Amino acid sequence: MSKLPPVEKLPLALRKNIRDDWDNKKLDLEQQISNILTVPWTVDVNPNQLYAYATEGYAKESLGSCIAGYITGAAYRLKEFVDHAGEEGLKELNTICSAHTITIDLDDTGRFPYCGVDIHEGKLRILFAPERLGVNIDDAINRDILLKALNEAPAPTSEDKLSFAARSDIRNEYEPRAEAIRAEIGQILEKPDIKLNPNFESTFAKLREESEAKKIDIRSDWENVLGSFTRMYWEGLVTQLKCQKFDQDELLREGFHEAVEKGEIAFRIVDQLKYDSYCECDIEDGVLYLQCTAKNWGTNIDNAAEKLVDRL
């Protein structure tokens, strides 16, 4: 459906509903959203434009109430998002949605069966499907749809090569625990300055390449677990080091340091494994790599370093 021009004049009863149920609430709702997002936000909607798409029912008869319903639902969903994403996620949302404006517009691309959201020219845009204005109002900005919109929007800086979901998972699931895991590995190996290299950008690039090519099946939520899965590979290494008695055997520790002379442990996605079917470890140029193929990302995580002694 192509976009329609605004209606020149609205019926009197509808203008009254817009005044009473939308115009009189607009400032309060803007303030509510601004409080949730911690910076000033505005709502920019054109009732005359929206009325062009109001075919029947709620939107046709009570457009002001309908608009207020969309924005009230948006406020609730944004609070839900902020509660989950935290301060850094909120900061990114405000940066990506640089106009700090919420609008309502027609989804003329067929993306959503009823309603959804995208980010267009820095504005957070609530979208409704043709002939669906006023339907499923509260779901327009549900968290999954908003996350997808943030993922598809340009990154906050040109240096960012990761999606919003990947950055969020690294921030929430990797960074708070990574140093403690590194320190534990250092203690087991009696090397307190051991380095862990998660290689997030190369892992992300490889998984995205494979997911877009669709030559193999990879898990659909790979972006959402980039940080947590990488952390779990490190945790699996801790388990294997203990199971193989590196914490008790000086000779094993000596062999480790001779082979892993750079004192670095890294994760990477490879095209083909050398020793196993799902994941493995390998030593290359003095670095210990935990590795898997894109297809088996996240499979049998604890077993990646199972044959570590053999590699030494």
pLDDT of residue 157: 60
CB of 116 closer than 8 Å to CB of 127 = yes
pLDDT above 70: residue 151:
yes
The pLDDT-based confidence of 2 (bands split at 50, 70, 90) is confident
Within a domain: 2: no
**Which two structure tokens, joined as six digits, stand for 211?**
């997911």
pLDDT tens profile 220-244: 889 999 999 999 999 999 999 999 9
How many other CB atoms sit within 10 Å of the CB of residue 263?
16
Residues 249 and 145 in one domain: no
Within a domain: 4: no
Residues 107 and 137 in one domain: yes
Within a domain: 186: yes
Place of tokens 């000779």: 251
Residues 173 and 233 in one domain: yes
How far apart are alpha carbons 131 and 167 in whole angstroms? 37
Mean confidence (pLDDT) of the chain: 93
Residues 116 and 202 in one domain: no
Q: Of 129, 152, 175, which residue constitutes the final position of a domain? A: 152
Within a domain: 240: yes
Within a domain: 235: yes
Residues 175 and 146 in one domain: no
pLDDT of residue 75: 96
Residues 251 and 199 in one domain: yes
Residues 251 and 209 in one domain: yes
How far apart are alpha carbons 232 and 234 in whole angstroms? 5
pLDDT tens profile 38-86: 999 999 999 999 999 998 888 899 999 999 999 999 999 999 999 988 8
The pLDDT-based confidence of 1 (bands split at 50, 70, 90) is low
> Can you name the residues that pair with 125 across neighbouring β-strands?
103, 118
Residues 179 and 127 in one domain: no
Within a domain: 6: no
The CA-atom distances, in angstroms, between 85 and each of 34, 79, 263 are: 17, 10, 34
Number of domains in the chain: 2
Q: Which domain holds residue 170?
A: 164-311
How many other CB atoms sit within 10 Å of the CB of residue 160?
14
pLDDT of residue 156: 63
Within a domain: 5: no
Residues 86 and 175 in one domain: no
Percent residues over pLDDT 70 in the chain: 97
Residues 62 and 147 in one domain: yes
